[in-house]
Each structure stands twice: as C-alpha cells, then as structure tokens.
Amino acid sequence: IPEMPRWNFIVNNLTENREEITYTYRVNDHNIYSRLILSSSGVLQQFTWSPNDQEWSMFWTSPKDMCDAYRKCGPYSYCDTNTSPMCNCFRGFRPKFPQAWLLRDGSSGCVRKTRVSCGRERFVQLNNLKMPDTMEAVVDRRIGVKECRERCTRDCNCTGFTNIRNDGSGCVMWTGELVDMRKYGDG
C-alpha cells in the first residue's frame, strides 16, 4: 500500500503474478498485535492492541482526504486538494455540466473541446498523477514506452498510455474513459 508509512516492526509483501495480486504483512515483534480492516464503505484501517487500555487503537487509516474517494472527479479530470474546486479538467477538455461544476460537483467529469481526429491526436504528458482506474486497460510487459506510444497513437480507441517501470519498460494502454485520477505534490 504505497501511502502506508513504513514501520520497522512490520514486514510488507506484495505478490503479483498471473494468478493473483495480494498484499500481506507480518508483525516481526511478537509483543505487538496488529490487524488491518477494510470496511464495507472502502475505508482501510490499521489497529494495534493496547495492553494498557485493553482495546484496539487505530494508528493509520485511508482514505486520508476527499481526493482519495473513488471517482471523486469524473472522466478526463483529476482531483487536487490544493485547488478550488478540487476537480480539474485535463487540457483540451471542459466540464461536462458547467452548472454542477460551479456547485463543486465534478463527478460528471469533462468532455473534449474538439472532436477526435483519429491518427492525428497527440498525447499530453501528465506528471505527479495517480494512474487511472485500470478496468479498461491492457498491459504488455514486453514492450517499451516508445512502442507503447506508437501502438496507442494507431489505435483510435486508445485514450492514454504509460510505462510500467521508471526505466521506460512495460506498457499500459487505456481504451476507455480515464477515471479516478488525483494530483500528488512534487515531492
């Protein structure tokens, strides 16, 4: 869990293969008891047992802010806690329902200002953003970002792409609406 602080008494493990993607953790101090709970409303909380108080004490929770809520801002927009309103359209897009946008409801997202011109589209590089929901994404670990860009440009349904690793290898391409994005600080 990327935003979870690192503690020296907890060992985290992420398994990713063809059969599963799982997150596990182990407490390496036998005097500490910990539990991780995912509520039905999507809130993730970590607790430790307090022997003195004889109760579970919460010491970490997610989401941290409004932008952590799933699809806080609709398609082709991103959430930024440092702007007002928090939902912002990508360059080349405008609010789908301007009245709702003025009332601070960006859940309907944004639409293109101009029509799609297949084969002549250009992509804008976006930095410090959480990647969109991958429900409508295709992954190819064998190609690099250059071939990924070329494939995406040729595919009229492609709405975005990225490399998987910092060295430019691996490819993720989106073919549906880009949703559930948020801006992170420069740090």
Residue 175's H or E segment, with its range, is none
Residues 132 and 157 in one domain: yes
Residues 43 and 72 in one domain: no
* Whether pLDDT at 155 is above 60: yes
114 in any annotated domain: yes
Domain that holds residue 31: 10-62
Residues 73 and 112 in one domain: yes
* CA neighbor of 160 nearest in space, from 66, 93, 69: 93
Which position has the higher pLDDT, 110 or 16? 110
Residues 30 and 70 in one domain: no
d(CA 158, CA 104): 29
Residues 118 and 53 in one domain: no
Per-residue pLDDT of 135-154, as tens digits, reads: 889 999 899 989 999 999 99
Residues 54 and 133 in one domain: no
Q: Which range has the worst mean pLDDT, 41-50, 72-81, 84-93?
A: 41-50
* CA neighbor of 60 nearest in space, from 15, 6, 12, 22: 6
27 in any annotated domain: yes
d(CA 11, CA 30): 13
pLDDT number for residue 2: 58
Residues 79 and 169 in one domain: yes
**Inter-CA distances, 120 with 16, 117, 169, Å:** 36, 6, 25
Residues 111 and 27 in one domain: no
Phi-psi region of 180 (alpha: psi -120 to 50; beta: other; left: phi over 0): left
Residues 43 and 75 in one domain: no
- The 3-state DSSP class for residue 181 equals strand
Residues 78 and 58 in one domain: no
